[in-house]
Structure formats: C-alpha cells, structure tokens
C-alpha cells in the first residue's frame, strides 16, 4: 500500500540462492474425517477455546481465540496434524493462566476510533479503545470471551484475571517504530495460499515454523499471484492513505497520513513486499480475518503479523499462490 521502488536487486539475489525456484508449499494436511468432525461438534466452548490455545502455542494460529470451531480453527487443526503427524488436543486445565493487570496496562490512553479516515488522520495515535481490547490483543482472545471467562471481574490495576496461556511477548501496542533490530529467523520462505486463506513460514528444511490465517484480497483487488520477496519490515507504521488506490474510497477524501497504533488500517506492523503497493500487515479487526475482503494485501491479526515479522528479513522469498 506504500509506494516502494521495485527491488530488482533483491529478487536477483534471492533467485541466485534457488529459494524461489526450488521450494514448494507443503500440503496442509488431509481434510478432517467425519469422525473427527463429530468429536469436534461435541466440544463445549471451553474445550474449543482450549484447542485453539493448543494450536496457537504450537505455531498453528487459529486467529482470534473465540471459543468457536470456525474455518480458521479447523484449517489450523488440519495443518497441524498434517505437519506434525499427531492429533491436537485441548490444552490441559483449559489452557488458561493467571494474569495481574498492571498500572502500565491501564495507562492507555484509550480512545474511541472513528471509522472515517480523515477523522483518523487528525488523531495523535490510533491506540486501543479499552483495556478489554488491549488485553484481548495481548493474549490473542476476543474481548467478549475474555470478559466471559472472568465473570464479575473488574478490569482494573491489581486485579488478577484468567487469560490464555499463549506467547504474549510480542505486544501489538509497542510504541517502537522503524526497522527491526533482528536479522530474521534464518533462511525461511513464506507461502500465502489464496484458496486456503493461510500463510506458512518454512525453514530451509521445509518444516513449518509458523502457520496462520489471512485475508488475501477481493474480486476487485485479487492477490497478486507470483514470486516476490520481503523489501523491509516496519513496526508501528504510519499509513500513507491514498484514496486513488482504493476503489471504495470516499471521493471527498484526500491523501493523508494515518497515525500509528494497533488500530491503524495496517495494524501493528507492515512487511513491505517487492510487489509495489503490497505487503503483509496487521489489522484493527482481528475477528474478521479470512471472513472479510481486503484491498489485495495480506492481512493478519496484529499478533500473527508480528510473529511473521520476527521470522523474516530483507530478501525473504514470498510465494503468493492459488
């Protein structure tokens, strides 16, 4: 979505390694059997949540943990069982742990985010609208489910609540922007599947390092199938809004800079690709991943996009496939 010159040198360097030409996307596992589906249909909301937590911890993200066995969770389950060769089961003890809300958590500032882009451009930062939304993103759980598993709890400093026992070290609301200090996980390859609405990161041996659900475009802005590469990674990005690039933009809108924050249109991180205007990025609406359309870019939950950002570096091959 940002205008970046086509990096011919990057592509040439990647092609020289043979990474783009030789590696193929792994199958995501056979479809669940009817017996498997019958077992899953009998799961309670707590059991479904515990299964989602298991998948999240194993690097097969179900997207937002919501206690429902929707397509993101079922596809993550198929991918896990195909890659690991074993069944995924609900995490012990419901997959929850205790967490004491800190004074820092409560600092905010929490702001109601307007839907209009011009109104957004006038704000200093697009942070969270509530402590519930902030904690939901930190622990990868739908805010309404977080409240439900903590009945009668006040979300305030000093209060101990139950949260999913997932890796919460990649905080979507980090104020640090610019380029990452890490040099990437190693030699990895990224595959984005349009038909499976998924992104996979493979190591040099072809093992799945991470897999998560994505939104990949629309009929008007389809995923640009082809072989590309990572150009750069920017955390806490400013979004350069150009209404000319959006078919559904308000005709009265002008170009504007949308301030950073997890509720920015591209979320907590922008992974720029060598395909001009395209990237892998976060979202202010994690519950809609794979269920809504994008303007051609590859949209993930903020926490999943940050996971990918920690694995890639400049020149990492990115295959966009059907």
For position 235, which CATH number holds? Answer: 2.40.440.10
139 pLDDT band, cuts 50/70/90, is: very high
Cα–Cα distance measured from residue 278 to residue 93, given in angstroms and rounded to the nearest whole number: 41
Q: Is residue 209 part of a domain?
A: yes
160 in the same domain as 222:
no
Q: Is residue 171 part of a domain?
A: no
What angle (nearest 5°) sits at the alpha carbon of residue 284, between those of residues 231 and 223? Answer: 45
Domain C-terminal end among 109, 136, 164: 164
| One domain for residues 72 and 103 | no
Using CB atoms within 10 A of its CB, is residue 51 exposed (0-12), middle (13-18) or buried (19+)? buried
Let me know whether 265 and 182 are in one domain.
yes
- DSSP SS3 for 71: helix
Instruction: Looking at the structure, tell me whether residues 82 and 128 fall in a common domain.
Output: no
In a domain, 301, yes or no: yes
Asked if residue 204 is part of any domain, the answer here is yes
pLDDT tens digits for range 305-320: 999 999 999 999 999 9
Query: What is the domain range of residue 105?
Result: 96-164
Is 233 in the same domain as 247? yes
Indicate if the pLDDT at residue 3 is higher than 70. Answer: no
The answer on 160 and 271 residing in a single domain is no
Together in a domain, 111 and 56? no
pLDDT tops 70 at residue 45? yes
Per-residue pLDDT reduced to its tens digit, 121-138: 899 999 999 999 999 999
Same domain for 183 and 227, yes or no, is yes
Dmax (CA) of the chain: 59
Residue 13: the pLDDT is: 31
Tokens 């924050």 belong to 261
Q: State the pLDDT at residue 185.
A: 56
Asked if residue 3 is part of any domain, the answer here is no
* Structural element, H or E, at residue 163: strand 160-164
Last residue in a domain, options 70, 93, 116: 93
Nearest to 162 by CA among 181, 173, 148, 174: 148
Residue 86 in any domain: the answer is: yes
Q: Are residues 120 and 73 in the same domain?
A: no
> Last residue of a domain, which of 45, 65, 93?
93
Q: What angle do the packed helices 45-57 and 71-84 form, to 10 degrees?
A: 50
Q: What mean pLDDT is reported for the chain?
A: 86
DSSP state of 49: H
Question: Is 276 among the domain residues?
Answer: yes
Do 159 and 225 lie in one domain? The reply is no
Considering the domain architecture, whether residues 215 and 294 belong to the same structural domain is answered as: yes
Q: What is the pLDDT of residue 29?
A: 83
Q: Residue 20 pLDDT more than 80?
A: no
Element (H, E) at 19: helix 19-22
Same domain as 148, residue 52 = no
- Name which of 59, 57, 54, 42 is nearest 90 in CA terms: 54
Rounded Cα gap, residues 79 and 88, in angstroms: 10
Model-level pTM?
0.87
Query: Which DSSP string do the residues of 196-265 spell out, in sequence order?
Result: TTEEEEE-TTS-EEEEEE-B---SSS----EEEEEEEEEESPPEEE-GGG-TTS-TT---EEEPPSTTST
Interval 54-113: pLDDT, tens: 999 999 999 999 999 999 999 999 999 999 999 999 998 899 999 999 999 999 889 999
Query: What total number of domains does the chain contain?
Result: 3
Q: 231 in a domain, yes or no? A: yes
């Amino acid at each position: 979505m940002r205008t970046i010159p086509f990096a011919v040198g990057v592509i040439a360097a990647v092609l020289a390694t043979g990474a783009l030409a030789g590696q193929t996307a792994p199958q995501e596992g056979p479809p669940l059997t009817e017996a498997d589906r019958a077992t899953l249909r009998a799961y309670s909301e707590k059991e479904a949540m515990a299964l989602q937590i298991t998948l999240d911890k194993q690097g097969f993200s179900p997207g937002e943990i919501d206690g429902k066995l929707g397509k993101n969770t079922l596809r993550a389950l198929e991918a896990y069982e195909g890659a690991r060769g074993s069944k995924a089961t609900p995490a012990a003890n419901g997959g929850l742990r205790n967490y004491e809300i800190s004074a820092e958590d409560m600092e905010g500032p929490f702001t109601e985010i307007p839907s209009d882009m011009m109104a957004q451009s006038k704000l200093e930062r697009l942070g969270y609208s509530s402590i519930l939304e902030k904690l939901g993103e930190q622990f990868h759980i739908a805010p309404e489910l977080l409240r439900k598993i903590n009945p009668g709890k006040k979300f305030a400093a000093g209060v101990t609540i139950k949260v999913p026992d997932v890796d919460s070290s990649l905080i979507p609301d980090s104020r640090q922007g610019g380029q990452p200090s890490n040099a990437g996980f190693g030699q990895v390859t990224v595959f984005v599947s349009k038909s499976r609405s998924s992104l996979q990161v493979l190591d040099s041996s072809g093992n799945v390092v991470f897999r998560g659900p994505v939104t990949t475009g629309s009929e008007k802005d389809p995923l640009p199938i082809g072989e590309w590469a990572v150009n750069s990674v920017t955390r806490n990005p400013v979004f350069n809004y150009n209404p000319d690039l959006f078919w559904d933009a308000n005709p009265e809108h002008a170009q504007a800079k949308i301030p950073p924050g997890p509720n920015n249109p591209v979320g907590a991180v922008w992974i720029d690709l060598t395909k001009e205007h395209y990237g892998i990025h976060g979202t202010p609406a994690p519950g809609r991943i794979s269920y809504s359309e994008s303007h051609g870019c590859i949209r993930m939950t903020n926490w999943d996009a940050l996971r990918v950002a920690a694995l890639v570096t400049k020149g990492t091959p990115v295959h966009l496939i059907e």
